[in-house]
Amino acid sequence: MKQIFTLITFSLPFFLHAQVVCGTANENGVVTLTAPPGNIITSIEFASYGTPNGSCGAFTIGSCHATNSVSICSSTFVGLNSASINATNAVFGDPCGGTVKRLYIQATYGTILPVTLVSFIAKRIEQNTVKLFWVSAEEINTSHFIIEKSTDAVTFEVAGTVKAGGSGGYSFADNLLNSTDAVYYRLKIVDYDGKIQYSDVIRLNTGNEKLQLQLFPNPSTKVITIISNKDQDAFIANYTGQVVQSIKLKNGAQAVNVSLLLPGIYFIKTKEEVVRFIKN
């Protein structure tokens, strides 16, 4: 059974009333995107380093295009009020040698609402099956979650719906019908009064990857979430090798309380792997 994880770290807010901001620059220039005060950039709707065309709200990809444009811009801008990125080959690679390039970006921004995801992960549990897990720490007036997926991180379609329960953990199984290098997922949260909010986008690689024990957030103060590909025994050791806590990992994600540990460097150890984390 093949299992591949993609995780997104703690404290992911949802957003409301998304609006658009754009930026352009010629090669070796800089694009700066700034949302109004009290807002942050929530997603990258369009990004192309190459020869894009059009104007804000109607950008199109030209004959030259760096396919990593959206993912690089997303990691730079999403979650921030303002950020900048260089329009250079050093950032995006050179998609068409000898051609003078430019960078066009269109992003959405919105205000933060008091709905927080503790975690949001995608796990490939079989050849054609993906399991999504998310934990909500706080829900206000929430009706249901709509799971949306995409193969390009731009155009999304509905994969399914899960009824909200007030707070806690949720899961959803999705079928991979097409063979692609990656699938992107996001959560659309619908309130009882009709308001719609979105989570950030997570990426699931569908190629062959070596699965590793993973944990987040790192550093941590109170709780860490550990992701394991099987049921197994593990323990936490300090930097001298002294075992300070024994744990039983399960196949999937689970929370482990580390609030009683002294601040410092620790290691999660199994028979096969060792992962370091910092306790603040």
- Whether residue 190 sits in one domain with residue 163: yes
Per-residue model confidence (pLDDT) at position 94:
95
In this structure, is the dihedral angle defined by the CA atoms of residues 117, 172, 198 and 215, taken in order, positive or negative? Answer: positive
Give the domain extent around 172: 4-10+112-205
- Whether residue 104 sits in one domain with residue 30: yes
Last residue of a domain, one of 110, 145, 179: 110
Place of tokens 């811009």: 73
- Whether residue 101 sits in one domain with residue 180: no
- Whether residue 88 sits in one domain with residue 72: yes
DSSP string spanning 110-141? Answer: EEEEEEEEEEEEEEEEETTEEEEEEEEEE-SS
Tokens found for residue 235:
């323990």
Give the DSSP letter of residue 234. E
Position 221 confidence tier, pLDDT thresholds 50, 70, 90: confident
Per-residue model confidence (pLDDT) at position 210:
46
- Whether residue 224 sits in one domain with residue 148: no
- Whether residue 124 sits in one domain with residue 139: yes
Place of tokens 């007036």: 141
Report which of 9, 68, 19, 66 is spatially closest to residue 42, judged by C-alpha positions. 19
Average pLDDT over residues 64-76: 92
- Whether residue 105 sits in one domain with residue 21: yes
Per-residue model confidence (pLDDT) at position 85:
95
End-to-end CA distance of the chain: 36
Average pLDDT over residues 246-265: 84
Higher pLDDT, 244 or 207: 244
Percent of the chain's residues with pLDDT above 70: 85
Task: Please tell me the least confidently modeled range out of 8-12, 181-185, 194-198.
Answer: 8-12
Please tell me the total count of domains within the chain.
Answer: 3
- Whether residue 117 sits in one domain with residue 103: no
CA 25 to chain centre: 27
- Whether residue 192 sits in one domain with residue 125: yes
Residue 111 has pLDDT above 70, yes or no: no
Tokens found for residue 123:
């796990």
Q: Strands (DSSP E) along the chain, which ranges?
A: 4-8, 12-26, 30-34, 39-50, 82-86, 102-126, 129-138, 142-150, 157-163, 168-175, 182-191, 196-198, 202-205, 214-216, 223-228, 232-238, 243-249, 252-257, 264-269, 274-279
Position 208 confidence tier, pLDDT thresholds 50, 70, 90: very low
Position 206 confidence tier, pLDDT thresholds 50, 70, 90: low
Higher pLDDT, 205 or 184: 184
Residue 92 has pLDDT above 90, yes or no: yes
